[in-house]
A and B are shown apart, each in its own frame.
Chain A
Amino acid sequence: MSLATLDERTGVLGRRNALAKLVAATVVGVPLLLSIDPVSAAVALAAVLVLLPFARLSARGLWLRLWPIVVSALMAAAATVLYGRAGGETYLQWGLVHVSDGSLLLAAAIALRVLAIAVPSVVLFATTDPTDLADALAQLAKLPARFVIGALAGMRLVGLLIDDWNELARARRARGIADNGRVRRFLGQAFAVFVLAIRRGSDLATAMEARGFDAPVTRTWARTSRLTAGDAVLVLLGLAVAAASVGIALVTGSWRFVLTL
């Protein structure tokens, strides 16, 4: 799971319950989806960035996970600057391109919003072990165990499928059928991976069933998922960030509900 997991189970965030992290990320993110204004997003992002050093994560590990989001936020902003809704003073007009006060403001709002929603989510989930998340979802959120454990076990197969894909590519080259058009080759190989995935899935299902999965008794949990005071603090921090961002946006009058845009 090293592909996804940063600071596994030892750091300040690693020790928090996965459900608390899920709630905190939702509490911060959802209000930001309701408005498009620079103020609420800027406040939320600033608060998250102020809190981030307290998590004591490795700067390099963090950057490796965050840079794709920074790049996509900048790309979204660039597109909005050029093509966004015009308003106020116009600085450049060339065909469809129309840079104005309105489009600049909207671009800033969008870039900040992408970052404000994504940064806490990525940080919280990169420090979450998938097994712990499954335990929390099944034991605390009371989602069906059959579904949660099935999904967890299935996720493990993703790594195997990456290996399968590479092996299939080599086998196809060895068999003389790798010179065909790219699209055809991709489709053929995708189908083969699909077939392998089904076989691996059904093998795994047999192995799980042989170990009593889905037996007609009440399942117990070897790892009890508990909520602690630290988890309450995390959720409260999330609530505080959300309240500050929405509150300040409302007070400054910049809050713009998305549906009225």
Chain B
Amino acid sequence: MSAAAVRARGWGWRHAGRGRFAVDGLDLDIAPGERVLLLGASGAGKSTLLRGLAGVLGGDEDGEERGELTVGDRPASRARGVAGLVLQDPDSQVVLARVGDDVAFGCENLGVAADEIWPRVGDALDAVGLRVGLEHATSALSGGQKQRLALAGALAMRPGLLLLDEPTANLDPAGVVEVRDAVIAAVAATGATLVVVEHRVDVWAAHVDRVVVLAAGGGVLADGAPDTVFRTHGDVLAETGVWVPGRHPHPALTAAADAASPALLSTHGLAVGRRPFGAREAVVAASGIALAARAGRVLAVTGPNGVGKSTLALTVAGLLAPAAGAVVASDELRAAGRATIGPDPLRWRSRELLTRIGTVFQSPDHQLAARTVRGELEIGPRALRLPPAEVAARVDPLLEEMGMSRLAAVNPFTLSGGEKRRLTVAAALATRPRVLVLDEPTFGQDARTWEQLVRLLGDLRAAGTAIVTVTHDEALVAQLADDVVALGAAASAPGGVG
């Protein structure tokens, strides 16, 4: 299919049940074959616009549309198959069990003749460089491979317009480059129009013709060549959390405690792994791990996807049994509660963990357990059976510090990604644990949330908390880490991110 043009005239969309239009009064023209990076503050409606262009916003019961939005020469909602869409989460885009079938899925739906489908599937898989075989199980792909699979599924439809919604936000640095290069090669080969939403601007800036910034209140804030937009609107963009080239945050931090600071948690001959469903023994992901979480210092655990970083974090936090060896709490940590308890965190009661080891999971959705933001922060202090006045005395300053006071009564599941992340960190801090374990705290975060998190962790370090963080984020390691444990490359890396 030839490259498709995009045209918006006074276009707006309001999701059913919301008072405000997510996008409003948008006028925009994109020429066939143009490559556009779409930016804007959180809540400016970038994802809504992409979904509108892909024609998947739904009908009247899903929301209210006004103005005009066309792809090619047809209304976007009736241009199914003209646009291909790749979303952020690698896991939620796999449809079928085998690689070949999954890529063929879109062609089947569009009624492509059966004998034409398989050549298209082959071409699409070649274009994204995914050469694992048509019969390969989609569940055995890494996060980066799953994203390339989703891209191949979109390319096989031969779209005139390729839409990408933060396609690399959930990937490690190697995965980011892998997916970005696949997109650029595919667009170069097909000449399709490209619209990509991504706040990690560095990844795409050199490969796009044009940057369009959506204004939070509706309409377009800036539009032009990448260099021009970043030069003229750099400040505004940085303020909204865009990673503007040359303006990455560098918060000033208080120095760490020295390397001889006492270890609160240490490991001895530790091997970590998870027990697959139904299996008797854990599959070892990493072994021979020696690390120490020291008061007033930040320990970063790094390494590519699939080497067991998340598994290690859960094991150190007393949430997963070691495959071998031991995690040992120091006397100081054992005494950091109402009573002194044993040295093995795995054997501590749930409540006994609270004042000793706080954990922030990679996905906030697994961790949220209350109906309001305030309730979320109260869970820990209440589990400690603190008196109501003390609970409030801990929760109120945290709400303030996180800039979430006005969100106190909001359902946490409706928050943005950055807000959820800040909330889960704050919830772990409410019980004042001596050790804080974080799994990819800066994953997919915008520059503003990133800066806030680094500042906060710096303050905690200064206050004597021992911090262990699993991370791919090179900037985080450079600015915050005092000690680094690099886990080796795994023989194979199934199971996606982390």
Could you list which residues of chain A lie within 8 angstroms of chain B, going by C-beta atoms?
A: 1-3, 129-131, 152-153, 156, 159-160, 162, 164, 167-168, 170-179, 188, 192, 195-196, 199-200, 203-204, 206-224
Contacts A176-B353, A206-B56; A131 near B139 (Cβ below 8 A): no
Which of B106-114, B231-239, B284-292, B399-407 is near enough to bind chain A? Answer: B106-114
Return the 5 tightest CB-CB contacts between A and B, nearest first: A176-B383, A212-B109, A211-B106, A203-B92, A178-B350
Q: Is the CB of B98 within 8 A of A131?
A: yes
List residues of chain B with CB within 8 A of the CB of A195: 413
Q: Give complex CA distance A162, B93 in Å.
A: 18
* Bound Cα distance A176, B348 (Å): 11
Pairwise interchain contact B369-A221, C-beta atoms closer than 8 A: no
Q: Which of B17-25, B78-86, B180-188, B474-482 contacts A (4 or more CB under 8 A)?
A: B78-86
Cβ–Cβ contact B353 & A222, under 8 A: no
Choose one: A129, A178, A210, A213; the contact of B85 (CB below 8 Å).
A210
Contact partners of A219 in chain B: CB under 8 A: 108-109, 111
Please, which residues of chain B bring their CB within 8 A of the CB of A162?
A: 277
B87 and A222 form a contact (CB under 8 A):
no
Known contacts A176-B431, A211-B95, A212-B80; decide if A222 and B101 are in contact (CB<8 Å): yes
Contact A156 B110 (CB under 8 A): no
With A3-B277, A220-B117 already in contact, 13 other A-B pairs whose C-beta atoms are closer than 8 Å: A131-B97, A176-B350, A177-B350, A177-B383, A179-B350, A192-B369, A199-B365, A204-B92, A210-B85, A210-B154, A215-B109, A215-B110, A219-B111
Asked if B96 lies at the interface with its beta carbon under 8 angstroms from chain A, I say yes
Which chain A residue lies CB-closest to B138? A156
Partner of A171, one of B278, B357, B361: B361
Pair B56/A210 contact, Cβ less than 8 Å: yes
Most chain-B CB neighbours within 10 Å: which of A173, A209, A222?
Answer: A222
How many Å from the CB of B383 to the closest CB on chain A?
Answer: 3
CB contact under 8 A between A153 and B96, given known A176-B351, A178-B350: yes
Chain B proximity of A80: nearest CB distance (Å): 31
Contact check, B363 vs A167: say whether CB atoms are below 8 A apart: yes
| Residue of B with least CB distance to A214 | B109
Report B's interface with A, CB cutoff 8 A.
51, 54, 56, 80-81, 83-85, 87, 89, 91-98, 100-101, 104-114, 117-118, 121, 137, 139, 150, 153-154, 157, 277-278, 314, 317, 319-320, 349-351, 353-354, 357-359, 361, 363, 365-367, 369, 379-380, 383-384, 413, 427-428, 431
* CB pair B319 A174 closer than 8 Å: yes
A152 to B114, CA, bound (A): 20
Q: How far is the CA of A164 from the CA of B106 in the complex (A)?
A: 28
State A223–B361 Cα separation when bound (angstroms). 41
> How far apart sit A130 and B98, CA to CA, in the bound complex (Å)?
11
A216 contact set on B, CB distance < 8 A: 80
Q: Is the CB of B353 within 8 A of A174?
A: yes
Cβ-closest chain A residue relative to B93:
A207
* Contact B114 A220, beta carbon cutoff 8 Å: yes
**Closest B-chain residue to A204, C-beta based?**
B92
Distance of A212 Cα from B95 Cα, bound (Å): 12
Q: Are A222 and B118 in contact (CB under 8 A)?
A: yes
Closest chain A residue to B85 by CB distance? A210
* Contact A131–B96 (Cβ < 8 Å): yes
Asked whether A211 lies within 8 Å of B350 as measured between CB atoms, the reply is no
CA distance A203 to B90 in the complex (A): 11
* Docked-complex contact B114 and A224, CB < 8 angstroms: yes
Answer whether A217 and B353 are a contact pair too, CB < 8 Å, given A170-B319, A176-B380, A196-B365. Answer: no
Question: Does A170 contact B92, Cβ atoms closer than 8 Å?
Answer: no
Cβ distance A65 to chain B, nearest Cβ, rounded Å = 12
Whether the pair B157, A171 counts as a contact (CB closer than 8 A) is no
Bound form: Cα–Cα A175–B353 in Å: 8
Inter-chain contacts of B384 with A (CB < 8 A): 176
State in angstroms the CA–CA spacing of A204 and B92 once bound together. Answer: 5
Q: What B residues does A156 contact at CB under 8 A?
A: 94-97, 139
Selected from B83, B98, B112, B351, the residue in CB contact (under 8 A) with A220 is B112
Least Cβ distance of A52 to chain B in Å? Answer: 24
A2 to B279, CA, bound (A): 13
Shortest distance between the CB of A93 and any CB in chain B (Å): 43
Give Cα A176–Cα B91 distance, bound, in whole angstroms.
29
| CB nearest neighbor in B for A64 | B278
Residue numbers in A under 8 Å from B278 (CB-CB): 3
In the bound complex, what is the Cα–Cα distance between A171 and B369 (angstroms)?
A: 9
Listed residue (B54, B84, B150, B367) with the most chain A CB atoms within 10 angstroms of its CB: B367
User: What separation, in Å, do the CA atoms of A197 and B118 have in the docked complex?
Assistant: 32
CB of A204 within 8 A of CB of B350, answer no
A210: B residues at CB distance < 8 A? 54, 56, 83-85, 87, 154
| A179:B351 contact, CB within 8 angstroms | yes
Give the distance in Å from the alpha carbon of A171 to the alpha carbon of B366 in the complex.
7
A2 to B278 CA separation, bound complex (whole angstroms): 12
Residues of B within 8 A of A2 (CB): 137
Q: Are B95 and A207 in contact (CB under 8 A)?
A: yes
- Chain A min CB distance to B84 (Å): 7
Q: Which of A160, A179, A213 has the most CB of B within 10 A?
A: A213
A-B contact pairs, 24 of them (CB 8 A): A156-B94, A159-B139, A164-B366, A167-B361, A167-B366, A170-B314, A172-B350, A173-B350, A173-B353, A175-B354, A175-B369, A176-B384, A199-B365, A204-B93, A207-B85, A207-B92, A207-B150, A212-B109, A216-B80, A220-B107, A220-B111, A222-B104, A222-B118, A222-B121
Q: With both chains docked as a complex, state the minimum distance between the C-beta of A219 and any C-beta of chain B, in angstroms.
A: 6
Kindly state the separation between the CA atoms of A213 and B427 in the bound complex, as whole angstroms: 40
